[in-house]
Amino acid sequence: MKPKIELRGLTKVFVKKTGSVTALEDISLNVGEGEFVCLVGPSGCGKTTLLRILAGLETQSAGELKIHAEQSARPLQSMVFQEKGILPWMTVRDNVSFGLEMRKAPKSVIAEQTAYYLEKTGLSKFAHLYPSELSGGMKQRVSIARAFANDPEILLMDEPFAALDEQNKFILQEELLSIWSETRKTVLFITHSIDEALMLSDRILLMSAQPGKIIQEVRIDRPRPRKIEEIRKDPELAGQFVDIWKHLQQEVQKTRK
């Protein structure tokens, strides 16, 4: 698989008045073109910092980062947060079209892309509403629709469904995979949910407690879509669930010592 993202020895140290904190240490990995990769690790292990570096919002302290961009007018990456990414003074439609408007795409493209992703995420009849009038699940649909409408090469997703109830989470996971299967974006997705990682990803990268390191890779060799009941009944997936759970338990215990 052609690499889209390459990291070699990437380290991030935050310097404070009271001393320095190493958030990430010696991160080396490849993410292939069109691959869906989940990052799983204890709180504070540097997952979000890693995504922020990839998004250009932070700079690494050491190591090498390469993103193999296409020679096109498409943006390189878009980032989806937990309910923090949409603009409260804009309607749903204006939020979804925002990225396209900012890069001055042709009006016909803006109209077509916006309408398409409003429809794909079930937001067409809510296009005139403002974020204050939406549920948490609908706000996340807006964030996902905007990210895909902007047509980035890479999607960086930071626990986008963590604040949702289980029913909305499953619906949005299925919608995300449906859109991803059409577009084959390269996705790096942070989650604390083992079920979510098993349902969505090609690979799961397990991170250590701070300083964050990638200490294990889990490949998910199952066709999509994957249902939660299938994950629980499949002996191999169930075994992977237990292994990941044990890893997280061990790393969380390290943070308490």
pLDDT for residue 71: 63
Burial class (CB in 10 A: 0-12, 13-18, 19+), 30: middle
- Is there a single domain that holds both residue 110 and residue 137? yes
Structure tokens at 99: 């990225």
* Residues whose CB is less than 8 angstroms from the CB of residue 255 and which lie 6 or more positions away in sequence, other chains included: 42, 43, 44, 209, 210
Write out the residue range of the structural domain in which residue 138 sits: 83-152
Structure tokens at 142: 């807006």
Domain end point (choices 152, 181, 201): 152
Domain end point (choices 152, 174, 190): 152
pLDDT digits (tens, 9 = 90+) for 71-111: 666 678 888 876 667 899 999 999 999 989 988 889 999 99
Domain end point (choices 152, 169, 185): 152
Angle, CA of 244, 11 and 196, to the nearest 5°: 25
pLDDT digits (tens, 9 = 90+) for 112-135: 999 999 998 889 999 999 999 998
Asked if omega into 225 is within 30° of 0 (cis), the reply is: yes
- Is there a single domain that holds both residue 37 and residue 118? no
What is the arithmetic mean of pLDDT over 191-207? 94
- Is there a single domain that holds both residue 40 and residue 15? yes
Q: Which amino acid type is present at position 62?
A: A
Share of the chain above pLDDT 70, in %: 97
